Amino acid sequence: MAAPPAPQVTVAAPLVHSVDVHDEAVGRFEAVQSIDISAQVSGRLAAVHFDDGQMVEAGDVLFTIDPAPFAAAVSQAEAERARAAAMRDLAAEERRRAETLVDQDAISREEFDRRASGAAEATAALNAAQARLEAARIDLGYTTITAPIDGRVSDRRIDPGNLVSANDSLLTTIVSVDPIHISFAVTPEVASTMGRPGMGAVQQVRFRLEGESAFTHSGRVDFIDNQVDPRTGVVRMRAVVDNPDGRFSPGQFVRVQFSRGSIANAMLVPEAAVSSDQNFKYVLVVNAENVVEPRPIGAGPVVDGLRVVQGGLQAEDRVIVAGGQAAYPGTLVSTTPGKIELAAR
């Protein structure tokens, strides 16, 4: 009975090439600024001046609280101030008269002190009335609620006609749009290779959205946390991204890619050619007698589908890159020459 034919495999020498090493992490967009808009005075909400979800600019009027009670309070405070000013003027005049009379011994020193004290009290009362007037004017100003930043406003949380409470009623929120942040986390080892913003070259990152296959968008790292999170063992990082058209939204998840540097003359094999056996990785090679042998390797990072081999292979080794399903250690095989190449960019 004839022996079965030797399995056909494709073999290739490891590719030796300098490569840029990248890592990836899951990130999420976050607004650079996010502000809750609340009432600073209590009253009836009179009007809403925006459409839910629209873009607004700093200073745009968002809400109006009924100003009538506050305008009345201003008028009352103005009247109280005018009265206090008149009393101050009268007390000041009495003090001036008392100065003349006491010099002529027409009044006692005690009477002079009483009038001087009255003038000082009248001045203090005027200052208090002025402060109450300023407070009333501030409260009246708070009845017009404006956008503190440029950004996109959320929906209104309270409809006109309802009562709102000072510092308690959330009316809406505003988030800034351009630029926007991406927050992500890396291991301490990766963080240590990236330097610190402001202390050298700016670290660029690339990212892709869900449904995209290529990292076509870019940003720059502007923050690396100063400590490792003891709960997760990672370091928080942040990148800033230009977002002039508002395409990216807070809360949206992205895949972030960042460089860890370059490896000169790296030895590369297809990731599909690498197998695992308990605590080590290996590839199958074909020796000079066309017999399959397992070869333990030091596994480095994966670059564009190719695994960086950090020891265990020689440049002339013939690595099985296709057909290895039928090839086992000790098996005699028939070989077809192949070639390992970097993916075209």
Same domain, 46 and 73: no
User: How many CA atoms within 13 Å lie on the side-chain side of 309?
Assistant: 26
Q: What is the pTM of this model?
A: 0.69
Write down the pLDDT at residue 302. 82
Torsion sign (Cα): 48, 53, 54, 60: positive
- Decide which of 259, 276, 296 is a domain's last residue: 259
What CATH number is attached to the domain comprising 270?
A: 2.40.420.20
Which amino acid is residue 70, in one-letter code? F
CA distance readout (Å), 240 to 28, 222, 278: 12, 6, 41
Element (H, E) at 194: none
Same domain, 41 and 171: yes
- Domain containing 240 equals 22-31+179-259
What CATH number is attached to the domain comprising 47?
A: 2.40.50.100
Query: From CA 57, how far away is CA 61, in angstroms rounded?
Result: 9
Going residue by residue through the chain (345 aa), what tens digit of pLDDT does each one get?
A: 556 788 899 999 999 998 887 788 999 999 999 999 999 999 999 999 999 999 999 999 999 999 999 999 999 999 999 999 999 888 888 878 777 776 777 777 777 777 778 888 888 999 999 999 999 999 999 999 999 999 999 999 999 999 999 988 899 999 999 999 999 998 888 787 776 665 555 588 899 999 888 889 999 998 989 899 999 999 999 999 999 998 999 999 999 988 777 788 889 999 999 998 878 899 999 999 999 999 999 988 888 888 999 899 999 999 999 987 888 899 899 999 999 988 765
Query: From CA 269, how far away is CA 16, in angstroms rounded?
Result: 9
* Number of domains, the chain: 4
Crossing angle of the two packed helices 109-141 and 68-103, in degrees rounded to 10: 160
Cβ atoms 239, 185 nearer than 8 A: no
Write down the pLDDT at residue 3. 64
Torsion sign (Cα): 290, 294, 299, 301: positive
What lies within 8 Å, CB to CB, of 110 at 6+ separation is none
Nearest to 13 by CA among 330, 306, 310, 338: 338
* Average predicted confidence (pLDDT) for the chain: 89
Cβ atoms 22, 305 nearer than 8 A: no
- Structural domain contains residue 342: no
CA distance readout (Å), 4 to 162, 179, 190, 217, 332: 87, 66, 51, 53, 11
Query: From CA 266, how far away is CA 15, in angstroms rounded?
Result: 8
Write down the pLDDT at residue 73. 96
Nearest to 255 by CA among 220, 209, 324: 209
- Structural domain contains residue 344: no
Which amino acid is residue 296, in one-letter code? P
Nearest to 186 by CA among 227, 261, 237, 259: 237
- Structural domain contains residue 3: no
Same domain, 51 and 74: no
Write down the pLDDT at residue 250. 93
Same domain, 274 and 305: yes
Helix extents (H) in the chain? 68-103, 109-141, 188-192
Query: From CA 239, how far away is CA 176, in angstroms rounded?
Result: 15
What lies within 8 Å, CB to CB, of 343 at 6+ separation is 304, 305
Same domain, 48 and 169: yes
- Structural domain contains residue 2: no
Which amino acid is residue 329, in one-letter code? P
